[in-house]
Amino acid sequence: MTYELYYWDGLQGRGEFVRLALEEAGAEYIEVARGDEHDGLGTGAMMATMDSKSEPYPPFAPPFLKDGDLLIAQTANILLYLGPRHGLVPGVDSLRYVVNGLQLTIADMVTEAHDTHHPLASNLYYEDQKDAAKVRATDFIEHRIPKFMGYFERVMKQNPAGDAYLVSDALTYVDLSMFQLIDGLYYAFPRAMKTFPKRYPRLAALHDAVLERPRIAAYLESDRRIAHNESCVFRHYPELDKDTR
């Protein structure tokens, strides 16, 4: 059965974490919001699901995933569902909760990355909060990136199965999500991220290893991959970037 993925057309956003798992798995899926309204798809179909009065548990916001009659919301929740179905979790059940915990921590950092350019209110334009954004971005670069990435690097170093992956001795969906997080930071803060490979060698190696996976490489070269842009979570505003030691 073909999965239905619901996310905003033209944005990587939080939907990209789900796309990477589906692509690595070779799973069949359609992007509902990118489809033709004449086929019952498009953004209108996504909004109708969110605003449904008949759906007992409508999703609050995308991304959400439909698998037959099952409707699953929230990125980490979707990946928790997809992982066991497509071999993207460890074989040990208890480690699946470790993977989910790391995924939730990634979600925390994604929110903080978003708030570098929207520190006051999501409904305000970036141009209306540039001064506050500069303060928030500086703190993010100097304190929050080291805090989060230092933790993730330590998790890889202390992995009992070796330091090639975050959990266990094989790729899981959280490794794909870590790739996307790092990739987004490279785009948003290229100056700050120049020292990243030296400071966090295991994470940098993981990012590069995911790039070389055949299905991921093919996806990144395809028209299914939406480019980073300044309407998304990770945005490149040069005035918010800075060099780090």
Q: What share of the chain is helix, strand, coil (3-state, %, to 5)?
A: 55, 5, 40
- pLDDT over threshold 90, residue 137: yes
Looking at residue 37, its pLDDT comes to 79
pLDDT tens digit sequence for 44-100: 999 999 999 999 999 999 999 999 999 999 999 999 999 999 999 999 999 999 999
| CATH class name, domain 3-85 | alpha beta
- pLDDT over threshold 90, residue 40: no
3 state DSSP class of 217: helix
The strand order across the sheet containing 64-67 reads 29-31, 3-6, 64-67, 70-73
Percent of the chain's residues with pLDDT above 70: 100
- pLDDT over threshold 90, residue 210: yes
Looking at residue 41, its pLDDT comes to 86
- Cβ distance 177 to 12 under 8 Å? no
The CATH 3.40.30.10 domain(s) of the chain lie at 3-85
93-213+233-240 CATH, one of 1.10.287.3610, 3.90.226.10, 1.10.760.10, 1.20.1050.10: 1.20.1050.10
- pLDDT over threshold 80, residue 188: yes
The stretch 14-18 carries a mean pLDDT of 98
Average pLDDT, the chain: 97
What the block records as the tokens of 24 is 């690595």
The CATH 1.20.1050.10 domain(s) of the chain lie at 93-213+233-240
Looking at residue 126, its pLDDT comes to 97
